[in-house]
Structure 1
Amino acid sequence: MTCLFWDLYYSGTRCESLTFRSMVGLALSMTLGGVVILHLPQLPDLGMLSMLVPAAIFGFTSPRLRILSGFTLGLWLTAAAATREMDFRLPAGTQAEMVVIGMVTGLPSSSDKVHRFQFRVMEGDLAGRRLRLSWRAPESDLVPGQWWRLTVRIKAPSGSLNFGIFDYEKWLFLKRIHGTGYVLVSPAPVLIDDDAALVDRIRYKVRERLRSVVQKGSIGTFLALSLGDTSQLERRHWDILNRTGTTHLLIVSGLHIGLIASICFLVFRFLGVGIFRVISLTVVFTTAYALLAGWGLPVQRAFIMTLVFLVCRYFSRYVVLSFQLAVACVCVVVLDPLATLGNGFWLSFGAVCALLLALSGRVDNKKDLTRWISSSLHAQWVVFLCLLPVLGFTNFQLPLGSMFVNLVAIPAVGMLLVPLLLVSLLVLAVFPPLGQSLLELCSLLATLLWGFLETAAALDLVAGVRQFALISCLVSLTGIAILLAPRGLLPRWPGLLLFLIILAPARQLNEGDLRLTFLDVGQGLSVLLESAHGFQLYDAGPTFGTTFSAANQMVIPSLRRAGGRGVEHLIISHKDNDHAGGLQDILEKVPVGRVIRYGDCAKKWISDNVKFRTFSVLASHPGMVTSENDRSCLLSISTHGFQVLLTGDIEARAEYALLDSGSGTVDVMSVPHHGSNSSSTPALLNRLKPGLAVVSSGYQNRFNHPDPVVVDRYRKRSTLILNTASSGAVEILFTREGYRLSEARRNRRRIWRR
């Protein structure tokens, strides 16, 4: 927005069209090169690519070869950065206890008495690596810049992998985390030194100062807007932001950088300062805020665009916004070749491109106030349209009311809350009483803002969509480009048809078909069952304090990806946390027709010609002394002649009772009790004779599930046995023709996945 202001306010000599086209072509080609590398199943040989670099540099001298040269340079830069990161990563399967010496970096966070922080190893075999560590109840606060000698148990970066939702391993790779682990209390950690000359130390002091003077209800909002620290926002806040399409409001973005640059430039110009000093001071203040805000990708983009304008302004050159955007893109790709891996890259640059397409070069004869209102409405309409396919592709929901919400929220945050908050921080450092009063006013504004967003979210103006292919998203965006093109250039009706492709119904299951997905929830169990028009859910996965809930992070997103807004039946096999931990989260956020719990689970129903039956094999033995595991509620499914059995955590005693009940053969089953040696007796396997058995367990779990002896039992009976720890989510589609198997880790191999 600031750059739009610059372009409208100043005029001068325009850059040559050749330079403009070359820069835009370079930005697109380098970005494409990075995308290609990051979507390969394995990295190409860096030596071979390096041999092409001199030719690529020479190719820039020829206009016909510049696009190819940019593409080659993008390939090489991204391959070099990815190779370095993979070399620094701990080898897959690593799990060791060792002593490390290094420095705390970034802003540590804490919840449930567990502190989480990034630790850069400075000495020893792991020097240069960045670890993501947790430390339960440290004796002193963790401060950025502290040097510690820690005894840690670390492992290679790993995480659960499900179809089409958040990829934790990709996030670790993008953040350049080379290992994860936790601090051991013995031998005792030792504080060695303290390096206070860090930007993170300043950010930490600002955060602690805010915590000491701001009420708890507002601290998360203030930290997000001032420091880019969203760790203090609660789950309900994210739910509200997602449902109203306003997540961008609490992420320090180009809007905030532009605001700071605009204020600085206009204030210093008003004071009569010379143009060189105005530009220098604007750069200094903008840089300071960009570093304070964490130097995220949207901040980088806006900062570089502002810097390009200021330099050109000093030399009396007028540069169109497209050129500035292209320069910013090239700089971001050069500074961080892995940036194209994150959604923020595409959302940040995509939003500006949409505004460029819709607003640049338009002639508007309206007067100032009318023009401002018209431009604001038009800008919101453009961003609303362009984000719909993107949000549908990434979040599986369309916030239909986001345009009207943003018309109120963006000015409230950008023009009122953020400037007042930054002024409050400056005043707080000089005159604390006045600073605290201003922060109280900020708290009032934040309370009003959240009240407005909660009201908007309660209207439920959200349409859920089944995940569609990337090509559908691109086709829809092409349709939007046609709709936003200048009048008379192209007919609008093809654009409307292309845009609506995201609403075209995906291929539906037929009556009797069943898609069964063993979700990768770590050491736990959750199975999503989808028929032609309904969903059933067996178990809800684990939860750990307030920091991790498989229901929130895996189960509910997987349900939404499949196009489900609710489930007909939620079956909880037994009360152990690894099966029932996410129950409450699901009940709060997903409409559930009926909950079937252990102890009273003798139920039968038919959904879309798929037969379901829940039962407990020890229900007829009320006097028998049994464990909670043996009282698990089982789920039997019958469709198209196939038999499926989900077994919960039953052990040997319940398995023998299952045999006594006359159970027959099955085609697919869940391995009882995650593959523990207390289950999967030979007698059970001889009777059931499964063709496919799936273990749901966590990678390198402390129980060593599944037991190798148990795995061998299945294999000796020619049963295909899969483990979510190594396969990721396992999807089985039953149709009249048979069943088809898909594994998340084998579906699309990527360089960062184990």
Structure 2
Amino acid sequence: MFIRFVLGVLAATFGFYQIPELPVFSVSKSFAIALGSIILLIVFWRLRGLKGPVDFINGFIIGFQLVFWQTFFIPQVPTTFLNQPIELVGQIEGLVEESVTDQSGKSKQQKWRFDLRVHDMKTPNGIVQTFGFGSRPKVRLSWYQIASEDRAIIKPVAGEVWQLAVKLKPNHASLNPGGFDYETYLFREGIAATGYVLSKGSIKNQPLSAFGMDARTFLTERLSQLFSNSEFRGLFLALLVGQKTDLDSADWQTLQATGTIHLMAISGLHMGIMAAIGYFLLGGLWSLSIRFSSNLPRAIKYRLLNTPKIWVAGLGALLFSTVYLTLAGYAIPTQRAWLMVLVVLLMVFLQRAFQPFAALALAALLIVIWQPTSVLSPGFWLSFVAVALIFGALFHPKIQPKSKWQKFWLIQLVLFLGLAPLIAFYYQQFPLMSLLANWIAVPFVSFYGLPVLLLLGLLDWVLPVDWMNLLVSWNDHAWQGLWGYLNFLTLSPINQMPLTLTLWQVVLIYLGLFLWVNPNNHWGIKSRLLVWIPILSILGYGFMPKSFEGITIQILDVGQAQAVVLLTPNHTIVVDTGSRWNANLDGASMAILPYLKTQNRQKIDLLVVSHSDLDHSGGTQRLMDSLPIIKAVSGQATQLNQALNTTTFTPCQAGQTWQFDDLSLAVLAPDSDVEVWPVPKNDNDHSCVIKASFPTLKGEKSILMTGDLSQAYEKRLVALYQKTDILKSTLLVAGHHGSKTASSTEFLQGVAPEMVIFSSGYQNRFGFPNQQVIEQVEAQNVTWLNTACASAISISAQKQSELKIESFRELSAKWYHHRCFEDEKGRFYQ
């Protein structure tokens, strides 16, 4: 009954965060529903025939009520204090991330990123908001400082209370099919707003009180110094204190490709190791004290002899796991693991028989009550399903008699197969090498890696620096062996298997697997085999490439940049690759590759990079490293080839055409005739202008992409094609992201689009799309969309249907997602 009840609570909580609008209930109606669910629970308590469904339904109703009422207690930043300079007073929480973003001569730009628990805030016109203890919102801030001879860098430290001049904005982020949902991440982490510290102004940024460096920050800095010369410094800090900022993109790619990324999250495995160390350490000390208790006073000896060893050992496990929880900064995965340890120890202390699945259900219920947004984390489901699979394997009658090593290998096999549906659901692929990787990596980290790192951390307090450097160097040799093995596995051509499954398919697969392996299931072997028919059918469908008719165009949401993907049944075309913000994040990693992964696309038939500016070419290198590219063209091919150290790109010239199924592509500019098209003096006017045409029910439609072409060259484009209809297009991707340097009235009249699409960033510093350009578009009675508000814009065209245009933000809307302001005409403004 209890497990079914908890499943109902989990289903309700997860479902609540999937609805597009927050439901509105009156207080009386809400209490009436809650009372009704309690009555149902009592009435049907003993009706065996309905017991299972009613338990689940009651759990669902009560769970929905709990999570609904908790939304009213989520700390918020009032809209009055957003999008303007304000003064904050708050306390820094967690680790302060540090990075050098620029360095030249004697000055450097230092970036700090930290979370601030806000005590009060004040606007320039004197509006003040003070928050109570339980309602203080948490904001995430970036602070850029430049050091010079007359100006020192001020380092914020965890635990300090600061007065800061900041500018906050809502949690608005890019949304793309298959991409990382950063808005959901911020909501899950309890971040009410993001922003940056202002370095200029009348408000002085200063600490108001300092409590000294907290234990976690102190330990992190000490460990960072200890491993400063180690090539695995980022891995070690991630394992010990949960700081992952030193892991670069290559590290993450290796971990993800081998299915070992879970080893870098302080969760069940690491917490279990810490609990085991505490259990055996204090248990061993208790045994030693009993052995030498003859010389102790009678009262102490009596206490020792009458205290069960398991209590002392359990207390050690709780102590060590709690310390580890603190050092990990109370991260949500660590809280899950700690609660699981707590549940197990409670059963030990209460001398109750350990019921694995009931304990697992209790831990899940406690986590959802304490932190309901945990269900939005893939780690929540992966960790609980993994533990359930381990319990199911350990207590299965066919596995129980096996030896310990046989159990270990079998459990790894069970995890490999059992987690495949969830991994496919969240990541649209499955690392086939993960079984071989985890067979080595899990015992290495469990029995050597983490214990040795803990030992090194302790020895650092007593041994001289030279000795510690030698020990760290020896330890690096062992990790080099593991890392070399993992990198070897990533070279396999069949490592990443595309696999896409929906939520309902995942639920059906796990239900079928449960019916198959349930030891209480008395079906015959033939009946059991029938279960595999739908399971294999679903998996087979997930492995199949996405098949569709017609043309799909995705204008991806890549901030103040541009990236467009065009798909036909058999071909993939990419026009521009977004920007690059740092070594780990660019337009390809953020939007293009995740989207192509959802479509099971394994190559790019044509890559067009309009010109070499970073906001159009930033993701090119990663795209070239990730997928084979058949042909690549650019308006600045020479510059791109030099910058990327390649010979892949060839010049883009007017007159070039390609045919991909029903999609026709034509290059309209630049023209080779220097009299018609003089050599541009800036990068923007080198832009390769592409027109894509495709059939629909109402005839041929088209989309025109002009890169960053300026009005001067737009005028030349109109003159070049004024005697034909070549320039006319159904859709226009506005030049230069909506800058007033493009999209002139003359050009709009020449193109005569039905819709203009702006690819710009939310509240970008340039103010794009420019208001004048919007007015020019509206003066032509043309509708428009902006990726900053609509997110990725999908355009679907088929011969048998009309053109279909959809906003991904509307399609994937959740009630906690941010929305732009809507005017009386239904248009969205930032």
| Length-normalised TM-score, structure 1 | 0.91
- 1:133 maps to what in 2? 141
Say which SS state the counterpart of residue 158 (structure 1) adopts. coil
Shift of 1:60: 5.7
Q: Deviations over 1:436-485 (max 9, x none)?
A: 55443432322222111111111233344264422223333334435544
Q: Deviations over 1:163-207 (max 9, x none)?
A: 23211111111111111111111244212211248xxx2111111
2:44 matches 1:36: no
2:200 matches 1:192: no
Which has the higher mean CA deviation after the structures are superposed, 279-288 or 533-542?
279-288
Structure whose alpha-carbon radius of gyration is higher: 2
The CA distance in 2 between the partners of 1:468 and 1:66, in whole Å, is: 28
The CA distance in 1 between the partners of 2:385 and 2:563, in whole Å, is: 36
| Matched-pair identity in % | 26
Counting only pairs closer than 5 Å after superposition, residues 578-593 of structure 1 correspond to structure 2 as: 578-593=615-630
Identify if the C-alpha distance between structure 1 residues 476 and 309 changes in structure 2 by more than 3 Å, giving closer, same or farther.
closer
Which has the higher mean CA deviation after the structures are superposed, 425-434 or 716-725?
425-434
Say which SS state the counterpart of residue 137 (structure 1) adopts. strand
Corresponding residue to 1:221 among 229, 235, 240 = 235
Shift of 1:313: 1.9
| Length-normalised TM-score, structure 2 | 0.83
Corresponding residue to 2:563 among 504, 526, 542 = 526
Shift of 1:597: 1.3
Say which SS state the counterpart of residue 195 (structure 1) adopts. coil
2:691 matches 1:636: yes
Corresponding residue to 2:408 among 356, 366, 376 = 376
Corresponding residue to 1:659 among 715, 718, 725 = 718
Q: Deviations over 1:576-598 (max 9, x none)?
A: 11111222222222222222111
- 2:661 maps to what in 1? 608
The CA distance in 2 between the partners of 1:419 and 1:612, in whole Å, is: 59
The CA distance in 1 between the partners of 2:630 and 2:78, in whole Å, is: 46
Structure 1 residue runs without a partner (length 5+): 1-20
Shift of 1:488: 6.6
- 1:163 maps to what in 2? 177
Q: Say whether the 8 Å CA contact 1:60–1:66 is kept in structure 2.
A: yes
Identify if the C-alpha distance between structure 1 residues 363 and 605 changes in structure 2 by more than 3 Å, giving closer, same or farther.
closer
Identify if the C-alpha distance between structure 1 residues 122 and 289 changes in structure 2 by more than 3 Å, giving closer, same or farther.
same
Identify if the C-alpha distance between structure 1 residues 739 and 251 changes in structure 2 by more than 3 Å, giving closer, same or farther.
same
- 2:547 maps to what in 1? 508
The CA distance in 2 between the partners of 1:713 and 1:236, in whole Å, is: 46
Structure 2 residue runs without a partner (length 5+): 46-50, 102-109, 122-128, 147-152, 288-306, 637-650, 819-830
Amino acid at match of 1:101: V
Shift of 1:57: 5.8
Q: RMSD of the TM alignment (CA)?
A: 2.4
Shift of 1:281: 2.7
Shift of 1:503: 3.1
Amino acid at match of 1:132: R
Q: Deviations over 1:700-737 (max 9, x none)?
A: 11111112232233333332311101111001011102
- 2:797 maps to what in 1? 734
Counting only pairs closer than 5 Å after superposition, residues 228-627 of structure 1 correspond to structure 2 as: 228-273=242-287, 274-275=307-308, 276-364=311-399, 371-431=403-463, 433=465, 437-465=470-498, 467-486=500-519, 489=523, 490-495=527-532, 497-504=534-541, 505=544, 508-510=547-549, 513-546=550-583, 548-599=585-636, 600-602=651-653, 603-621=656-674, 623=678, 626-627=681-682
Corresponding residue to 1:119 among 101, 116, 121 = 116
Q: Say whether the 8 Å CA contact 2:730–2:755 is kept in structure 1.
A: yes
Q: Deviations over 1:339-374 (max 9, x none)?
A: 1111111111111122233332425575xxx61222
Shift of 1:52: 4.4
Amino acid at match of 2:196: Y
- 2:104 maps to what in 1? none
Counting only pairs closer than 5 Å after superposition, residues 63-142 of structure 1 correspond to structure 2 as: 63=45, 67-85=56-74, 88-91=76-79, 94-111=82-99, 112=101, 113-124=110-121, 125=129, 127=131, 128-137=136-145, 139-142=153-156
The CA distance in 2 between the partners of 1:426 and 1:81, in whole Å, is: 42
Q: Deviations over 1:422-441 (max 9, x none)?
A: 12212223445565554434
Q: Say whether the 8 Å CA contact 1:221–1:446 is kept in structure 2.
A: no
Corresponding residue to 2:30 among 33, 42, 49 = 49
Q: Say whether the 8 Å CA contact 2:545–2:601 is kept in structure 1.
A: no
The CA distance in 1 between the partners of 2:81 and 2:418, in whole Å, is: 42
Identify if the C-alpha distance between structure 1 residues 467 and 277 changes in structure 2 by more than 3 Å, giving closer, same or farther.
closer
The CA distance in 1 between the partners of 2:807 and 2:161, in whole Å, is: 43
Q: Say whether the 8 Å CA contact 2:429–2:500 is kept in structure 1.
A: no
Number of matched pairs: 724
Shift of 1:84: 2.9
The CA distance in 1 between the partners of 2:679 and 2:347, in whole Å, is: 84
Q: Say whether the 8 Å CA contact 1:27–1:330 is kept in structure 2.
A: yes
Q: Say whether the 8 Å CA contact 2:83–2:169 is kept in structure 1.
A: yes
The CA distance in 1 between the partners of 2:349 and 2:426, in whole Å, is: 41
Shift of 1:41: 1.6
Identify if the C-alpha distance between structure 1 residues 499 and 260 changes in structure 2 by more than 3 Å, giving closer, same or farther.
farther
Q: Say whether the 8 Å CA contact 2:174–2:788 is kept in structure 1.
A: yes
Say which SS state the counterpart of residue 105 (structure 1) adopts. strand
Amino acid at match of 1:343: P
Say which SS state the counterpart of residue 501 (structure 1) adopts. helix
Q: Which has the higher contact order (CA 8 A, sep 6+)?
A: 1
